[in-house]
A = this chain, B = another copy of it.
Amino acid sequence: MSRLALLLCSVFDSVSDRSRIFEWPIRVYFEDTDSAGIVYYANYLKFMERARSEWLRSFGIDVGKLVQSEKALFVVRSIQVNYQRPARLSDLLTVTVSLKRIGHASLELWQEVIRRNDTLCSSSLQLACLNADSLRPCRIPKQILEKL
């Protein structure tokens, strides 16, 4: 390959890589903060779950309908969170979702909570697909695998 081709490839790669990072805006309200004046540590997990729901919606997947029609549910099996800087009341945050790995019955994601150019909090998550009635592991429905 020529140098130009290589350059273009790497540009396209980074574009397509960039395009695979889903972003969702979240505003910090009083409910999210605690008396230390910052966002309470458990509430970042709420922010991340909101962003994951909207990431699925961006593929045409509604978590509510997924439960009803497919009896499928994604639950967090494990999460590792690093809290770097605190968010505060009225902050406008961006929460990202990027898919790291997809298996037959599980997903691995990377999520960040960002304020302007600062990563406030980053997280690695393992999710499992469960049957919504039995809460036992099940395969990710085929049409969802195809969409993701």
Pick the 4 closest A-B CB pairs, nearest first: A64-B90, A33-B35, A42-B45, A64-B89
Q: Which residues of B contact A100 (CB under 8 A)?
A: none
Q: Which residues of B contact A40 (CB under 8 A)?
A: 30-31
A82 contacts the other chain (CB 8 A): yes
Residue in B35, B43, B67 whose CB lies within 8 Å of A38: B35
A109 contacts the other chain (CB 8 A): no
Q: Which residues of B contact A34 (CB under 8 A)?
A: 30-31, 33-35
Could you pull out 17 A-B pairs where Cβ atoms are within 8 angstroms?
A: A27-B50, A29-B49, A29-B50, A30-B34, A30-B40, A33-B34, A35-B37, A35-B67, A41-B45, A42-B43, A42-B45, A63-B89, A77-B82, A78-B80, A78-B81, A78-B83, A79-B81
* Interface residues as binary, A90-107 with B (CB distance below 8 Å gives 1, 0 otherwise): 110000000000000000
Complex alpha-carbon distance, A75 and B83, angstroms:
9
Contact B73 A83 (CB under 8 A): no
Q: Which residues of B contact A37 (CB under 8 A)?
A: 35, 135
